[in-house]
Structure 1
């Protein structure tokens, strides 16, 4: 009996020792970096360097670049993530090797929001992705390049904004809800042909949903970077699921309303164009019909609506904050608009070449406060390389657009707000600069760029044509510090005094 007890205890200790050795080996393996990859902080077992990162990843990565160089590897949870921090390396990644790095990481949050990666923004590079991007791009071109966008803004969105601002003339206002209303009306008209008023309950619901996404998700949930933790339900995951279902429910409602009254000879918005593509595929018994399910179409609308509102609203937010702090720039903008257009008619897209200073201010705003500073993460689809370093297949790659826009090698005093950097000696807007990439670049360049540019130009010039914004007396100037929750660099809460230009 005694011998059996001794042997039993001995066996137990051996098993414990084996388990401990395996756990130690697992921990060591978890921080091991494959040979040839860029250098970087080793981090802790399992969690990597998660504890040292904030919501403002673009600033965290700039600091790490000072120690490890413009390309480095950081362990975030279970994933080795390569960070690219200058324009030359970003160009190699997104343009020269665009197909190599056209993939997207498949995360817990992404799967939830995209209903199994059936969208455009988060889905992997595939024939299905190319098809939906092509359809959406054509719809944007039809809407933005013709007179639909211009007429809608001149007849509906801008007059509504103008009326509200006139009603508050001389008062202290918080501009963001008004900007959100205006941008929402523009994007909602494009996506599903609907207009809102400031007191519309559905508008308020959309505003709350976007705010809730930012508060709950930040830059993602733990399960996004440590996948096995998804088996443990968390309050954040439950709240995210709840908000996501509410948002998608609203989009599905719009979609099925359109489907009931669809007329192939009368295509007015994005949902109509998507339904027409679905109709054609069914009639032709096309091979791509499996990529044109109702879920795929709703996800495309969801992408265009959600992303289009958030980014443009915050771009306009930053414009008011900066021009309030730089009244000389604001006065020069108004003067150019009045000299070229006058005060009695709203700006047109065709006015853009004749308003180079306004265009330069918009460019400088997009440079100094790039609203998606880290872009959307990429994934290597094949074994490849960046800057001479090995990048194994399936590695996550993040490009720091902020670093490129603030690089002293390409921009003189990049921290200074100076629109003149985009003006040529003859007073015209400089030709496109390759290192100006607020919408990213390559195959995964922002799909909404061709809609956002004319939209922002018309909003910007219409706003400063008629109104002046100034600091609230007795209060500090609006802060220039943002917070990059859900990848979007959000302006802080702020107030200004609005006055009509006479």
Structure 2
């Protein structure tokens, strides 16, 4: 029985390896004259072994070598890197409708309920409706100028300023302070005046820790995103962890709604 189990595992690994090699060779040998230049990398792994610890420096060096736009294979994923302000403007503003559709990561699919939010949703009628509601109900000048909303924002900023004053002469983590201030602002505007006192502080503290974990998991390199054929195995436990975080988030939201 153990022998059959080992054989099954070896066969599965061999099958996955051959599939990855076939996919890589197919994409590598396919004639595509419209792709920009770039480093070749290795079969299956692409340029992953050569990225090093400082990704920004690596991409900067590649930009100096290949120009402001170049291609790079990360695992089985073909990526195109741009480093010119004019090209960035062309992509994110002039041709934004063309480049709006993106690959959604495993973590994003779980954390945004199948990628149906305003960030990862495809630019369809559903996305247009979400964007319209977001702008009219949350980001409009009328909503931002409301007295209650204005008071909440001022209160959060005052707390941040007082924190800096109280810690003069000591090192302050600006990134943490900025993130904490922004999150406090969002949570205050979401349930300010409804959940107050110790309960409000407890919920806000739990939400802050939870969002930190979710953002950390969203930014974590994922094998399944670079090798989609391995996504079903959840080798790093990304999907399982994110599902647990989202259950905790739903619990917090349900408590506030109740």
Same fold (TM over 0.5): yes
Separation in 1, partners of 2:224, 2:20? 21
Seen in structure 2, the aligned counterparts of structure 1 residues 122 and 54 have a Cα distance that, compared at 3 Å, is farther
Counterpart in the other structure of 1:246: 248
Separation in 2, partners of 1:22, 1:159? 57
Deviation at 1:101, TM superposition (A): 1.2
Counterpart in the other structure of 2:151: 151
Counterpart in the other structure of 1:187: 186
Separation in 1, partners of 2:159, 2:116? 35
**TM-score, normalised via structure 1 length:** 0.41
Match status 1:29 vs 2:29: no
Q: Is the 8 A contact 1:54 1:60 kept in 2?
A: yes
Separation in 2, partners of 1:191, 1:55? 38
Q: Is the 8 A contact 1:48 1:75 kept in 2?
A: yes
Counterpart in the other structure of 2:40: 42
**Unpaired segments ≥5 residues, structure 2:** 1-16
Secondary structure, counterpart of 2:99 in structure 1: coil
- Give the structure with the larger helix fraction: 2
Structure of greater relative contact order (alpha carbons < 8 Å, 6+ residues apart) = 1
Separation in 1, partners of 2:253, 2:53? 28
Give the superposed CA RMSD.
3.3
Q: Is the 8 A contact 2:38 2:72 kept in 1?
A: yes
Secondary structure, counterpart of 2:78 in structure 1: strand
Counterpart pick for 1:73 among 58, 71, 74: 71
Seen in structure 2, the aligned counterparts of structure 1 residues 50 and 148 have a Cα distance that, compared at 3 Å, is farther
Separation in 1, partners of 2:164, 2:197? 14
Separation in 2, partners of 1:53, 1:196? 48
Q: Is the 8 A contact 1:31 1:75 kept in 2?
A: no
Separation in 2, partners of 1:21, 1:170? 60
Deviation at 1:129, TM superposition (A): 0.7
Separation in 1, partners of 2:18, 2:117? 43
- Tell me how many residue pairs correspond in the alignment: 235
Q: Is the 8 A contact 2:223 2:236 kept in 1?
A: no
Counterpart pick for 2:118 among 108, 117, 120: 120
Secondary structure, counterpart of 1:100 in structure 2: helix
**Unpaired segments ≥5 residues, structure 1:** 1-19, 258-502
Separation in 1, partners of 2:131, 2:211? 23
Secondary structure, counterpart of 1:80 in structure 2: strand
Higher mean C-alpha displacement, 51-60 vs 116-125? 51-60
Counterpart in the other structure of 2:12: none
Counterparts of residues 132-151 of structure 1 (less than 5 Å): 132-139=130-137, 140-141=139-140, 142-151=142-151
Seen in structure 2, the aligned counterparts of structure 1 residues 21 and 103 have a Cα distance that, compared at 3 Å, is closer
Counterpart in the other structure of 1:229: 230
Q: Is the 8 A contact 2:20 2:76 kept in 1?
A: no
Seen in structure 2, the aligned counterparts of structure 1 residues 55 and 164 have a Cα distance that, compared at 3 Å, is same
Seen in structure 2, the aligned counterparts of structure 1 residues 92 and 151 have a Cα distance that, compared at 3 Å, is same
Deviation at 1:87, TM superposition (A): 1.1
**TM-score, normalised via structure 2 length:** 0.74
Structure (1 or 2) with the larger CA radius of gyration: 1
Deviation at 1:184, TM superposition (A): 2.6
Secondary structure, counterpart of 1:88 in structure 2: helix
Q: Is the 8 A contact 2:20 2:44 kept in 1?
A: no
Separation in 1, partners of 2:125, 2:20? 42
